[in-house]
Structure 1
Amino acid sequence: MAAVIAGLGGWLPPKIVTNDELCESLDSSDKWIRTRTGIQERRVVTAGLSTRDIAVEAGARALKSAGESTTDAVVVATTSADRLCPAVAPEVAHLLGLDTVAAFDITSACSGFLYGLATSAGLIAAGAAESVLFIGAEAFTTLVNPEDRNTRPIFGDGGGAVLLRAGRPGQLGSVGPIDLGSDGAKADLLAIPAGGSRQRAASGGLGFDAVPTEDWYLHMSGRALYTQAVERMTQSSRTALARAGWRVDDVDWFVGHQANARIVAAVAEELDLPAERVAVNIDKVGNTLAASIPLLLTDYAARGALRPGDRVLLAAFGAGLSWGATTMVWPKLAVDAFR
């Protein structure tokens, strides 16, 4: 039994924030941001929009792409859920008209799509579901310090989703061998300190003000993360290729998590992949964490750059630290553009 991608969809909030607009309230410049990240603009949520809404929009498009109105399970990968409790997936399922199906969240940050893909494929392989709607959705700009010039320009909001069906190994769209890994010893390189059970909003009679304001936002050690991202994504990609029996020359498209244009380019260089086989859209969307890879797939498939039969290598790296990679031969899908 294999999990096969039968539908694909993505959605971005309508509000666009350019680098110039961002720098009106931030000590930075368009040139500084573009040079270091490759990002020119990003989408951001506005009042009344949340991760739940993004997930519903992306999920509906994936169902439409697959020609389906129902599924057996909904899995949402997100690091910016609407609330600490409960999970957002049951609400998403309800709003999609999928009441009573199994629904749960996973939190693996920027590696969420690879971890969620493995989880969803496992539900199918175990016979727990014939089909799974898997969504990566983020409103992560709400968790970034608006005064931090090192993190605020990087992130954008959005969602991407796939509808997975039970199928045969080797079938077009079937998910190949998946490599996953983590290194919790380096968890503090990318973390939001406050809000969990370790540093709560109120503990021992102390109120909200006892927690430093900056601890409610993302902390990032950029240089150390760059080295880790390139090393781990390269290693994981090589492992996934070996398990699939592929050579680097077999890869038509490298679809890497859009964290930073320089990271993606460095991984491609380590793998000896030419630039024309590297998919990139970070310039228009920024780092959308778990939504990054499905949004990139939606983008390239909708405009015909990603064609049936293309061999695709997927890889991601994120907080945890966590990483993963897999392969697939692209299927024929009806995909609408998300812009």
Structure 2
Amino acid sequence: MTLRAVVAGCGHYLPERVVENSEFEKTLETSDEWIRSRSGIERRHFAAEGETTSMMSEHAARAALSDAGLVPEDLDALIVATSTPDLTFPSSATMVQSALGMTRGFAFDVQAVCAGFIYALANANALILSGQAERVMVIGAETFSKILDWSDRSTCVLFGDGAGAVILEAKIGTGNVQDRGILATDLNSDGRFKDILYVDGGVSTNTTGHLRMEGKEVFRHAVEKLAQTATTSLAKVGLTGSDVDWVVPHQANIRIITGTAKKLGLPMENVIVTVQDHGNTSAASIPLALSVGKARGQLKAGDLIVTEAIGGGLAWGSVVLRW
């Protein structure tokens, strides 16, 4: 008998404001066709004035609780993956904990940029397997619209805001790959590449920064490293790409998504794609895609899923789970 961290429910939240590509034509030398052809993005959501990461997280959390048929007091821990917290401290997770009325357990943030949800999911899995918690809410949430340089057409058209949440709970499995829940994880980082994707400001430098990216370099690393980490996770449990029902990737760029699927030997029919409607929502993109995929009826009980992401750091990783 083996303890597994099984998905009990999921949910998401998107801000009301939808920004079509055409809006950028008013202020930038760009076009809907230019943005679509290079990224696959058609629109994205931006947070309203005063709408924060923790607020969006709360909405996604309540949707996930409803989906799971649980209440806040059923949770032992709450993790928020974000690079855009409300405040330097306390953590956004403790703010969500308070907003939900969750008065027990513990809450903390994880920061690994676009790979944040994968890192948080791996941590939640470890908490469950070690006996520290029985139920863990994992949220990915971002308000990247707050750190964009609106004069830089190579970055500001790519990102959006939103939140997604997944609840994991401890269940006993048989110990083989037919078990529901997380089967394998793989985490990586390499700080030598920090300068190709970063924000040029922060607290200890006493500056206010904007997102900066060397797109071609990020693309080059992304396809190779995402395919590698997915293959590594699958190999840990004796599986290959041919065993996978769905890839739920970080939704950064349609060319990265298609390139990674090709390397894994999977057709795009087996990939959950939401980048066209959400843009790159960083740590929120995978839980958003999971929730949307479930709502569409694509993800079904027993499906084998690989989810992977890469972000600033560089940090990247993957999780193999059975839905």
1:182 aligned residue:
189
For 2:20 and 2:54, the matched residues in 1 are separated by: 24
> Runs of 4 or more off by more than 6 Å in structure 1?
none
Alpha-carbon offset, residue 129 of structure 1: 1.0
For 1:305 and 1:127, the matched residues in 2 are separated by: 32
Alpha-carbon offset, residue 172 of structure 1: 5.2
1:44 aligned residue:
46
2:90 aligned residue:
86
For 1:241 and 1:127, the matched residues in 2 are separated by: 25
Q: What's the TM-score once normalised by structure 1's chain length? A: 0.91
1:299 correspondence with 2:287: no
1:278 aligned residue:
271
8 Å Cα contact 1:244-1:327 kept in structure 2: no
- Percent of residue pairs bearing the same amino acid type: 42
For 2:180 and 2:35, the matched residues in 1 are separated by: 36
8 Å Cα contact 1:168-1:174 kept in structure 2: no
Match of 1:147, as an amino acid? S
For 2:203 and 2:24, the matched residues in 1 are separated by: 29
How many equivalent pairs are there? Answer: 316
1:148 correspondence with 2:155: no
Match of 1:217, as an amino acid? H
1:335 aligned residue:
none
Alpha-carbon offset, residue 22 of structure 1: 2.2
For 2:7 and 2:210, the matched residues in 1 are separated by: 35
* SS at structure 2 position matched to 1:176: strand
For 2:237 and 2:247, the matched residues in 1 are separated by: 15
* SS at structure 2 position matched to 1:188: helix
1:101 aligned residue:
105
8 Å Cα contact 1:54-1:137 kept in structure 2: yes
1:3 aligned residue:
5
1:259 aligned to 232, 237, 252, which one? 252
For 1:164 and 1:248, the matched residues in 2 are separated by: 24
8 Å Cα contact 1:157-1:288 kept in structure 2: yes
1:209 aligned residue:
none
Deviates more, 1:251-260 or 1:164-173: 164-173
**Residues 26-74 of structure 1: CA distance to partner in whole angstroms, max 9, x if unpaired?**
2211000000000000000011211011100001111111111121111
Match of 1:186, as an amino acid? F
Match of 1:107, as an amino acid? Q
Change (3 A) 1:268 1:99: same
Identify, as 1 or 2, the structure richer in strand. Answer: 2
1:55 correspondence with 2:57: yes
For 1:138 and 1:101, the matched residues in 2 are separated by: 24
Query: Where in structure 2 are there 5+ consecutive unaligned residues?
Result: none
Instruction: Supply the RMSD in Å over aligned alpha carbons.
Output: 1.2
Alpha-carbon offset, residue 327 of structure 1: 1.1
Match of 1:310, as an amino acid? D
Q: What's the TM-score once normalised by structure 2's chain length? A: 0.95
* SS at structure 1 position matched to 2:183: coil
Query: Where in structure 1 are there 5+ consecutive unaligned residues?
Result: 202-214, 331-339
* SS at structure 2 position matched to 1:23: helix
**Residues 189-225 of structure 1: CA distance to partner in whole angstroms, max 9, x if unpaired?**
111121231x214xxxxxxxxxxxxx61001011010
Q: Where in structure 2 are the equivalents of 1:318-333 lying within 5 Å?
A: 318-330=311-323
1:316 correspondence with 2:309: yes
* SS at structure 2 position matched to 1:150: coil
Deviates more, 1:26-35 or 1:99-108: 99-108
* SS at structure 1 position matched to 2:248: strand
**Residues 146-184 of structure 1: CA distance to partner in whole angstroms, max 9, x if unpaired?**
111011010010000011111124575411110110111
For 2:180 and 2:206, the matched residues in 1 are separated by: 43
